[in-house]
Amino acid sequence: MESILSLEKGYFFIGVFFAVSLLVIMAIMLDLWDGVYTAKRTGQRVHSHKLRVTIAKVSEYWRFLLIGFLADCLGFLFSFYFLPFMALLFGMGLIVVEIISMFEHAKRRKSHLIDLPEIIDGIIAATSKKDAEKIIGVISTKSEVSPHH
């Protein structure tokens, strides 16, 4: 029984679990950083609400990892169970969710909504019919090039 429940195996399990947890937290922080960058690029205000959501996300993700680790603790009793597989699987899933979120941020940055504040400023500043026609031309050009239509 002692060979199954070795101290080295326990340290290894805990080390892998904390490494996975750290990688998940790093992915959350990268998503937050990317989200703030996207908000700045698109001219949106960055609210403290986003930080509270991030803290809530960390605690929710931590619960998922702990559930996986608890299942792994049962597997720890078997000699063939040499890694915290559930924590690894849950951690990879959570990291994939954060990567998808960053792709969504990139899509928002690349959309033509970034140009909207500039176009609105141009409309407000238009003092003549010629200026207004120029702005309408810019809008119609952007809508023809848009991949969304």
How many residues does this entry show for the chain? Answer: 149
Q: How confident is the model over 57-82, as pLDDT tens digits?
A: 888 999 999 999 999 888 888 878 88
What does the angle CA 139 – CA 145 – CA 149 come to, to the nearest 5 degrees? 95
Q: Which residue's entry shows tokens 């941020």?
A: 105
Indicate the burial class of 144 (C-beta count within 10 angstroms; 0-12, 13-18, 19 or more).
Answer: exposed
> Maximum distance among all alpha carbons in the chain?
88
- Closest listed residue to residue 34, CA positions, set 16, 18, 46, 48: 46
Distance CA 101, CA 30 (A): 10
Q: Which residues of the chain have pLDDT under 50?
A: 1, 145-149
pTM, full prediction: 0.68
**Amino acid identity at 69:** F
